[in-house]
Amino acid sequence: MDPHDLQTALAAFTPCLREADAANAVGLAPSTLAKLRVRGGGPPYLKLGRSVRYPQDELLIWRNARIRKSTSDETATQA
């Protein structure tokens, strides 16, 4: 592979956060993210061996999908 192609491909990877950092970023406890992984409805994540990583762009999308202007707004759908 051409080094330039490899550099371009690597630049396309979004930075990922560890569970504790991801939880802090969205204002949840790490245990809440763990429960959401089991039940569903949480942000998309990567499972790399035993490690769980959350792509930053996916966390932002997931969090922003839950913004409400009033209590009468439609509830968040399960992701």
In a domain, 53, yes or no: yes
For a pLDDT cut of 90, what percent of the chain falls above it? Answer: 65
* Domain extent for 55: 14-64
Whether this prediction's pTM lies above 0.85 is answered by no
Query: Tokens in use for 23?
Result: 């939880």
pLDDT higher than threshold 70 for residue 45: yes
In a domain, 41, yes or no: yes
- Say how far apart CA 2 and CA 65 lie, in whole Å: 39
In a domain, 46, yes or no: yes
User: What's the structural domain count of the chain?
Assistant: 1
- Say how far apart CA 54 and CA 20 lie, in whole Å: 10
In a domain, 3, yes or no: no
Specify the pLDDT at position 16: 94
Specify the pLDDT at position 37: 96
